[in-house]
Structure 1
Amino acid sequence: MTVTVDNANGTLHAAQIANEAASGLVAAIATEDPAAAAEFIDAHAGAGDFWNSTTRLLNGFKLLRFPETGINIDRVPGPRGR
């Protein structure tokens, strides 16, 4: 598994990073600006785009209609993702 986290100088640079350095499957943008989100989503070439949401929904929810259980962003102790 690969997670790419980087600083970007604007939405087009963020999309460039996602297109070149990430897995190519999915990317997300966290912003309150709808125009910035739309610009990022239009420029991203991956299979899925998310705005103010976790990317874990792509593998499970968008493709199989149930949330991905193997990747969690919360801090629940114990084994997860069987």
Structure 2
Amino acid sequence: MQWQLKCPACGIEEVEQGAGPDHEAVTVHPDRDSHGSPLGTRGGYVSVELTCAAGHGFDFVVSNHKGAEFVGVVPRT
């Protein structure tokens, strides 16, 4: 199963990782058992900084807490 991400602001399919090296676009946030995820979930999460060809920034987020997994896209302000 797979999905292609689209920009949440304009729907364009051309999406790239952050402006720097690819490995700097990915951040692992350890499980602090708080609601710190951009998705509003508890526990740890991984975020990937992305930008569409039109310049809109957003994060692809994968979070987990006690057996529940969540995936979401969050616009960056």
Structure-2-length-normalised TM-score: 0.21
Structure-1-length-normalised TM-score: 0.21
More strand by share: 2
Structure with larger RCO (C-alpha < 8 A, sep 6+): 2
